Structure 1
Amino acid sequence: MGALRYAFPRASRLLKTDDFSSVFSLRLGATQGPFQVLARPNDLGHARLGLVVGKRTDKRAVVRNYLKRSAREAFRLHAAEFGGIDFVVRVRERYGRAQAAANRTLLISLMHRAARRCASS
Protein backbone atom coordinates (compact mmCIF):
# COMPACT_ATOMS: atom_id res chain seq x y z
CA MET A 1 0.00 0.00 0.00
CA GLY A 2 1.29 3.44 -0.90
CA ALA A 3 1.26 6.59 1.14
CA LEU A 4 -2.09 7.75 2.47
CA ARG A 5 -3.62 10.63 0.57
CA TYR A 6 -5.58 13.04 2.71
CA ALA A 7 -7.44 14.76 -0.11
CA PHE A 8 -10.88 14.01 -1.51
CA PRO A 9 -10.41 15.21 -5.11
CA ARG A 10 -13.17 16.07 -7.57
CA ALA A 11 -12.37 12.90 -9.50
CA SER A 12 -13.56 10.87 -6.47
CA ARG A 13 -16.94 12.61 -6.26
CA LEU A 14 -20.24 12.14 -8.04
CA LEU A 15 -21.12 15.68 -9.05
CA LYS A 16 -23.69 15.61 -11.83
CA THR A 17 -27.35 14.72 -11.63
CA ASP A 18 -26.88 12.17 -14.43
CA ASP A 19 -24.23 10.35 -12.39
CA PHE A 20 -26.55 10.12 -9.39
CA SER A 21 -29.50 9.08 -11.59
CA SER A 22 -27.57 6.25 -13.23
CA VAL A 23 -26.68 4.79 -9.81
CA PHE A 24 -30.24 5.20 -8.52
CA SER A 25 -31.70 3.55 -11.63
CA LEU A 26 -29.54 0.42 -11.35
CA ARG A 27 -30.68 -0.20 -7.75
CA LEU A 28 -27.87 -2.54 -6.70
CA GLY A 29 -27.11 -1.94 -3.08
CA ALA A 30 -27.37 -2.74 0.58
CA THR A 31 -29.27 -1.18 3.48
CA GLN A 32 -28.68 -1.46 7.20
CA GLY A 33 -28.92 0.88 10.15
CA PRO A 34 -28.71 4.53 9.17
CA PHE A 35 -27.33 3.87 5.66
CA GLN A 36 -28.57 2.89 2.24
CA VAL A 37 -25.70 2.26 -0.18
CA LEU A 38 -26.34 2.00 -3.92
CA ALA A 39 -23.62 1.06 -6.38
CA ARG A 40 -22.94 0.90 -10.10
CA PRO A 41 -19.80 -0.09 -12.02
CA ASN A 42 -18.00 2.70 -13.87
CA ASP A 43 -15.30 2.67 -16.55
CA LEU A 44 -12.94 5.03 -14.74
CA GLY A 45 -10.85 2.52 -12.78
CA HIS A 46 -11.40 4.33 -9.47
CA ALA A 47 -14.31 4.60 -7.08
CA ARG A 48 -16.49 7.70 -6.74
CA LEU A 49 -18.86 8.74 -3.96
CA GLY A 50 -22.10 10.69 -3.89
CA LEU A 51 -23.89 11.57 -0.66
CA VAL A 52 -27.55 12.23 0.05
CA VAL A 53 -28.49 13.60 3.47
CA GLY A 54 -31.95 15.13 3.43
CA LYS A 55 -33.52 17.60 5.80
CA ARG A 56 -35.65 14.80 7.20
CA THR A 57 -32.49 13.33 8.67
CA ASP A 58 -31.96 16.48 10.76
CA LYS A 59 -33.12 20.05 10.28
CA ARG A 60 -29.76 21.50 11.29
CA ALA A 61 -27.19 21.87 8.53
CA VAL A 62 -24.33 21.40 10.98
CA VAL A 63 -25.57 17.87 11.79
CA ARG A 64 -26.13 16.99 8.12
CA ASN A 65 -22.63 18.24 7.27
CA TYR A 66 -21.13 16.13 10.08
CA LEU A 67 -22.87 13.03 8.70
CA LYS A 68 -21.50 13.76 5.22
CA ARG A 69 -17.98 14.41 6.54
CA SER A 70 -18.06 11.15 8.47
CA ALA A 71 -19.15 9.13 5.42
CA ARG A 72 -16.61 10.87 3.16
CA GLU A 73 -13.79 10.11 5.59
CA ALA A 74 -14.69 6.41 5.75
CA PHE A 75 -14.83 6.24 1.95
CA ARG A 76 -11.57 8.16 1.51
CA LEU A 77 -9.65 5.74 3.71
CA HIS A 78 -10.96 2.67 1.83
CA ALA A 79 -11.49 3.97 -1.73
CA ALA A 80 -8.59 1.96 -3.16
CA GLU A 81 -10.37 -1.30 -2.19
CA PHE A 82 -13.33 -0.66 -4.49
CA GLY A 83 -11.86 -0.13 -7.95
CA GLY A 84 -14.23 1.22 -10.59
CA ILE A 85 -17.53 1.60 -8.74
CA ASP A 86 -19.79 4.61 -8.21
CA PHE A 87 -21.48 4.70 -4.80
CA VAL A 88 -24.38 6.78 -3.59
CA VAL A 89 -24.74 6.75 0.19
CA ARG A 90 -28.07 7.87 1.58
CA VAL A 91 -27.97 8.65 5.30
CA ARG A 92 -31.46 7.89 6.57
CA GLU A 93 -31.11 8.75 10.26
CA ARG A 94 -28.73 10.82 12.30
CA TYR A 95 -26.14 9.50 14.70
CA GLY A 96 -23.81 11.15 17.15
CA ARG A 97 -20.11 11.03 17.75
CA ALA A 98 -20.51 8.12 20.16
CA GLN A 99 -21.74 5.86 17.34
CA ALA A 100 -19.54 7.33 14.59
CA ALA A 101 -16.77 4.69 14.64
CA ALA A 102 -19.22 1.78 14.58
CA ASN A 103 -21.23 3.43 11.80
CA ARG A 104 -18.13 4.03 9.68
CA THR A 105 -17.31 0.32 9.97
CA LEU A 106 -20.91 -0.54 9.04
CA LEU A 107 -20.76 1.81 6.05
CA ILE A 108 -17.59 0.19 4.68
CA SER A 109 -19.10 -3.29 5.07
CA LEU A 110 -22.25 -2.14 3.22
CA MET A 111 -20.06 -0.71 0.44
CA HIS A 112 -18.24 -4.03 0.12
CA ARG A 113 -21.59 -5.86 -0.02
CA ALA A 114 -22.89 -3.47 -2.71
CA ALA A 115 -19.63 -3.85 -4.68
CA ARG A 116 -20.00 -7.64 -4.63
CA ARG A 117 -23.54 -7.29 -5.97
CA CYS A 118 -22.23 -5.10 -8.79
CA ALA A 119 -19.57 -7.66 -9.65
CA SER A 120 -22.06 -10.55 -9.71
CA SER A 121 -24.61 -8.79 -11.93
Structure 2
Amino acid sequence: MAYRFRRADRLLKTDEFSSVFRLRQSRSNGYFQVYALPNGLDHARLGLVVGKKVAKRANRRNYIKRTVREWFRLHQHDFAGIDYVVRAKLAYTRDKRGEAMTALDALFAKLARCRASSSS
Protein backbone atom coordinates (compact mmCIF):
# COMPACT_ATOMS: atom_id res chain seq x y z
CA MET A 1 0.00 0.00 0.00
CA ALA A 2 1.55 3.29 -1.11
CA TYR A 3 1.15 6.22 1.22
CA ARG A 4 1.79 8.97 -1.29
CA PHE A 5 -0.10 12.16 -1.90
CA ARG A 6 0.16 12.62 -5.65
CA ARG A 7 -1.19 15.41 -7.80
CA ALA A 8 -4.01 13.06 -8.86
CA ASP A 9 -5.09 12.87 -5.19
CA ARG A 10 -5.80 16.62 -4.99
CA LEU A 11 -8.62 18.87 -6.04
CA LEU A 12 -6.92 21.61 -8.04
CA LYS A 13 -9.46 23.40 -10.20
CA THR A 14 -12.18 25.79 -9.16
CA ASP A 15 -14.80 23.62 -10.91
CA GLU A 16 -13.78 20.60 -8.83
CA PHE A 17 -14.17 22.57 -5.60
CA SER A 18 -17.46 24.10 -6.78
CA SER A 19 -19.04 20.74 -7.57
CA VAL A 20 -18.24 19.46 -4.06
CA PHE A 21 -19.60 22.64 -2.43
CA ARG A 22 -22.75 22.52 -4.59
CA LEU A 23 -23.83 19.12 -3.27
CA ARG A 24 -23.68 20.46 0.30
CA GLN A 25 -23.24 17.10 2.03
CA SER A 26 -21.13 18.24 4.94
CA ARG A 27 -20.33 17.76 8.60
CA SER A 28 -18.61 20.20 10.90
CA ASN A 29 -17.21 20.71 14.37
CA GLY A 30 -15.17 23.41 16.08
CA TYR A 31 -12.05 22.86 13.99
CA PHE A 32 -13.20 21.82 10.52
CA GLN A 33 -16.04 21.58 8.04
CA VAL A 34 -15.79 18.65 5.62
CA TYR A 35 -17.73 18.43 2.33
CA ALA A 36 -18.00 15.17 0.38
CA LEU A 37 -19.05 14.13 -3.13
CA PRO A 38 -18.65 10.77 -4.93
CA ASN A 39 -16.16 11.20 -7.78
CA GLY A 40 -16.45 7.96 -9.78
CA LEU A 41 -12.71 7.29 -9.46
CA ASP A 42 -10.93 4.48 -7.65
CA HIS A 43 -9.23 6.89 -5.24
CA ALA A 44 -10.18 9.75 -2.94
CA ARG A 45 -9.18 13.35 -3.62
CA LEU A 46 -8.67 16.20 -1.18
CA GLY A 47 -9.13 19.94 -1.42
CA LEU A 48 -8.19 22.36 1.36
CA VAL A 49 -9.54 25.78 2.26
CA VAL A 50 -7.79 27.78 4.98
CA GLY A 51 -8.80 31.42 4.83
CA LYS A 52 -7.09 34.49 6.20
CA LYS A 53 -9.90 34.90 8.72
CA VAL A 54 -8.82 31.59 10.28
CA ALA A 55 -5.10 32.41 10.45
CA LYS A 56 -3.71 35.77 9.41
CA ARG A 57 -0.14 34.56 8.90
CA ALA A 58 0.72 32.38 5.91
CA ASN A 59 2.98 30.09 7.94
CA ARG A 60 0.05 29.18 10.24
CA ARG A 61 -2.27 28.54 7.27
CA ASN A 62 0.42 26.37 5.67
CA TYR A 63 0.89 24.40 8.92
CA ILE A 64 -2.84 23.63 9.02
CA LYS A 65 -2.83 22.53 5.37
CA ARG A 66 0.30 20.42 5.89
CA THR A 67 -1.11 18.57 8.89
CA VAL A 68 -4.46 17.89 7.18
CA ARG A 69 -2.66 16.64 4.04
CA GLU A 70 -0.53 14.33 6.18
CA TRP A 71 -3.60 12.96 7.97
CA PHE A 72 -5.33 12.38 4.63
CA ARG A 73 -2.24 10.73 3.11
CA LEU A 74 -2.25 8.15 5.89
CA HIS A 75 -6.02 7.51 5.75
CA GLN A 76 -6.92 7.98 2.07
CA HIS A 77 -7.23 4.25 1.42
CA ASP A 78 -10.32 4.16 3.65
CA PHE A 79 -12.15 6.73 1.51
CA ALA A 80 -11.87 5.53 -2.11
CA GLY A 81 -14.10 7.14 -4.72
CA ILE A 82 -14.97 10.36 -2.89
CA ASP A 83 -13.86 13.98 -3.25
CA TYR A 84 -13.43 15.82 0.05
CA VAL A 85 -13.01 19.52 0.72
CA VAL A 86 -11.78 20.32 4.21
CA ARG A 87 -12.39 23.89 5.35
CA ALA A 88 -10.54 24.99 8.48
CA LYS A 89 -12.68 26.94 10.95
CA LEU A 90 -10.20 27.39 13.79
CA ALA A 91 -6.42 27.81 13.77
CA TYR A 92 -4.34 25.43 15.87
CA THR A 93 -0.68 25.04 16.75
CA ARG A 94 1.50 22.05 17.59
CA ASP A 95 0.15 21.73 21.11
CA LYS A 96 -3.46 21.41 19.82
CA ARG A 97 -2.61 19.31 16.74
CA GLY A 98 -3.67 16.00 18.32
CA GLU A 99 -7.03 17.44 19.32
CA ALA A 100 -7.58 18.82 15.81
CA MET A 101 -6.68 15.50 14.15
CA THR A 102 -9.07 13.67 16.49
CA ALA A 103 -11.78 16.12 15.45
CA LEU A 104 -10.97 15.44 11.78
CA ASP A 105 -11.15 11.67 12.41
CA ALA A 106 -14.60 12.13 13.93
CA LEU A 107 -15.88 14.17 10.97
CA PHE A 108 -14.72 11.64 8.40
CA ALA A 109 -16.26 8.83 10.48
CA LYS A 110 -19.57 10.75 10.59
CA LEU A 111 -19.52 11.23 6.82
CA ALA A 112 -18.74 7.53 6.29
CA ARG A 113 -21.68 6.52 8.50
CA CYS A 114 -23.95 8.96 6.70
CA ARG A 115 -22.89 7.61 3.29
CA ALA A 116 -23.36 4.00 4.46
CA SER A 117 -26.86 4.67 5.76
CA SER A 118 -27.94 6.57 2.65
CA SER A 119 -26.67 3.89 0.27
CA SER A 120 -28.49 1.01 1.98
Q: TM-score, normalised by structure 1?
A: 0.91
Shift of 1:99: 1.1
Partner secondary structure for residue 104 of structure 2: helix
Partner of 1:25 in structure 2?
22
Q: Taking every aligned residue pair, what percent have the same amino acid on both sides?
A: 55
Runs of 4+ in 1 over 6 A off after TM superposition: none
CA deviation string 1:63-90 (max 9, x = no partner): 0000000111111110000111100000
Number of residue pairs aligned between Structure 1 and Structure 2: 118
Partner of 2:47 in structure 1?
50
Whether 2:82 is the aligned partner of 1:80: answer no
Shift of 1:96: 1.2
Distance in 1 separating the partners of 2:25 and 2:114: 6
Q: CA RMSD in A?
A: 1.3
Distance in 1 separating the partners of 2:80 and 2:113: 12
Please show how residues 1-121 of structure 1 align to structure 2 within 5 Å.
2=1, 4-5=2-3, 7-119=4-116, 120=118
Structure 2, unaligned runs of 5 or more:
none
Q: TM-score, normalised by structure 2?
A: 0.91
Distance in 2 separating the partners of 1:108 and 1:47: 16
Partner secondary structure for residue 71 of structure 1: helix
Counterpart residue type for residue 23 of structure 2: L
User: Contact 1:53–1:91 at 8 Å: present in 2 too?
Assistant: yes
CA deviation string 1:36-83 (max 9, x = no partner): 001001100111000000000111000000000011111111000011
Counterpart residue type for residue 53 of structure 2: R
Partner secondary structure for residue 48 of structure 2: strand
Counterpart residue type for residue 32 of structure 2: F
